[in-house]
Structure 1
Amino acid sequence: MNPSPTSFRAPSLVLQIVIGLLAGIVLALLWPQGARAAGLFGTVFVSALKAVAPLLVLVLVAASIANHRLGQKTHLGAILLLYVVGTLAAALVGVLASYLFPSTLILKAPADAALNAPGGIGEVLRTLLMQVVDNPVNALLDANYIGLLAWAVGLGLALRRAGDGTRAMLGDLSEAITWIVRMVIRLAPLGVFGIIAALLAESGLAALKNYLHVLCVLVGAMLFMALVGNPLIVAAVTRRNPYPLVLRCLRDSGVTAFFTRSSAANIPVNMELCRKLGLHEETYSVAIPLGATINMAGAAITISVLTLAAVTTLDIAVDLPTALLLSVVAAVGACGASGVPGGSVLLIPLACSLFGISNDVAMQVVGVGFIVGVVQDSAETALNSSTDVVFVAAAEHARGRG
């Protein structure tokens, strides 16, 4: 009996990245000269990310806003508010965790990188304003993510009044860009192999401690949000013990999402969980798909922690108002995170631009994100997806419908 073609499946992307990671370590230990040459794979991967990320931000956000029809009645105000509050709270948790357990990375930064550091919140806001009004062509060429975000929001709002064909074309363009991003991310195993091999050949095994530390901060912040932050929000809304609901959502939704690494793929699981919880179908049938798109607590933590790791590495001083502004930017960026594995790390340059960090350095941080993403992305998805059901149920219970 001949085996069917489906009997030989390619290993998952996660497994491929793990293989690339291990292969890079082995090559660096056994053949350092070859490991330095293998760094070309990492350079190509980071360059590909640099090429596609600005266009992704512009098109994805514009299409998302444009395709929300005017006058659409969703009656989901309370749930949307919880999504926003939860994502912002997660960004604040990420900032706090970074202050308590500062992380450093090994980055190839120019010698005068720290000279671009902002002097305080006033300078940050001035820089922010100038970036917002930048020419869109310049914004694309210079990877000015703040400017791209502003143009995306403006175009999206304007195109909400466009015809169905125009909005459908913009949606198709968004899907096309997302497909290209997926193709680039398929290069992640080779990219991680090259990055790790070259890094360890230059810095030795001590470099792995940096990755382990930042991974622990990321996962620790996500666990804190899941087990402390979300329960506090639910308790404030429902005036009930939040843990039966929170723990059930983590068990029935979070565990599945951890292994699928896709909030979108976990939508059917969340729908079934909402049905078992006795929630109203007309509410959760809209709220759950919406949450899979904009409720991104885990992504907000990833963006804030990795951005502050870069800031710490470059010895850039950050005052409290600027840290709070970072939380807002991280939360907004998280809501626009691409629906592909590792999509949140592509928004890191948006946050790094607040601190005058060049796009070349920011993209190195993105590369670090893909290295730790073997675990981080799974934990992020588990938090994001389980929180969708937690907040829908909390809003229903608060209105006495649970």
Structure 2
Amino acid sequence: MTDPRHVVVVTGTRAEYGLLSSSMRAIEARDDLRLSIVATGMHLSPQYGHTVDDVRADGFEVAREVPTLVDGDSGAAMAKSLGLGVSGMADALASLDPDVVLLLGDRGEAFAAGVAAAHMNVPLAHVHGGDSMDGAIIDDSIRHALTKFAHLHFPVTDRSADRIRKLGEEPWRIETVGAPGLDAVLAGEYDTPAAVRERLDLPDDGPIALVVQHPLTSAPDLAGEQMAATLDAVAALDVHPLVVYPNSDAGGRRAIAEIERRADLTTVRSLPRETYLGVMAAADVMVGNSSSGVIEAPSFDLPVVDVGPRQEGRERADHTLQVPHDRDAIREAVERCLTDEAFRQRVASCENPYDRGGAGERVAARLATVDLGEGLLRKRLTY
């Protein structure tokens, strides 16, 4: 009997961990795979909730911690963090000696791990490649660069798979798996609305607005005033807002300062995945620019006011109203989500393009069976 393949999963944020967790569970459940976890980025920061504790609370063992965050609120700080990440990831991967590394998405932490793994001739598998976010300039650049470093691709829609092929990747490397972040939603693995209301001290009656808005890396100086426009719009309506802190990208501290300036908000630095999904189930509207508003929200029949250009170009169900960073436009869209019955019925009947079911198990099965020989590492362009 051969030893199980050693899969190292790298996670840097609460959101991306939530998307990876079903694949991690599926890897753990197989006798032919062995899981190790490297935690980095926001997971290790008290300012963002020290969410590595949530990973451990879910029963996972964290094999290595790689600190990367450089103090600052600028693109320069993000670039320096990337450099720290490559160095730290090289040390972590050298000590763990994996057979394959699994990454997700478009963040700098994933890119640092991908650069290190590729230079160390460790096969790299990438989830959510091929997605398009026209308004998130550096995010798409990182995502598509990771596609060129990766040896296995797990796009979540057929359109994303087609983009990967157009980047010159060989078709046999690509398997459309659906969004693994939906596995827990489809299985009902989240807190009930009643439990969420009690835990977060939310009112038993009246509409709830989930607000999650990240800074635009292309305009970090505007993050504070953009957050102010969203919070002003929500405050002008008869709705109870629950505001989740933004990520650590440039401009994030400006957005946090605007949140903390207001005493009338229910705020959380972070939430465990099952609680966050429970909030989505309990909420009447979601406001901001989080990818969860595009990917997970339609599976909860949750209308979304998508603010600004961050998610532009991303495939979506017919459940969003897209508006600029303008207080009146945001307010009118939130009001429509709450009161327009025709729109709410449209949201309830829409199909989620990311829903294929069992994504995590598909990822694990491919990692267990793919030939890890030189043919996997030696990439050839198709153009």
Structure 2-normalised TM-score?
Answer: 0.25
Q: Which has the higher helix share?
A: 1
| Higher gyration radius (CA) | 1
Structure 1-normalised TM-score?
Answer: 0.25
Q: Which has the higher contact order (CA 8 A, sep 6+)?
A: 1
Q: Which has the higher strand share?
A: 2
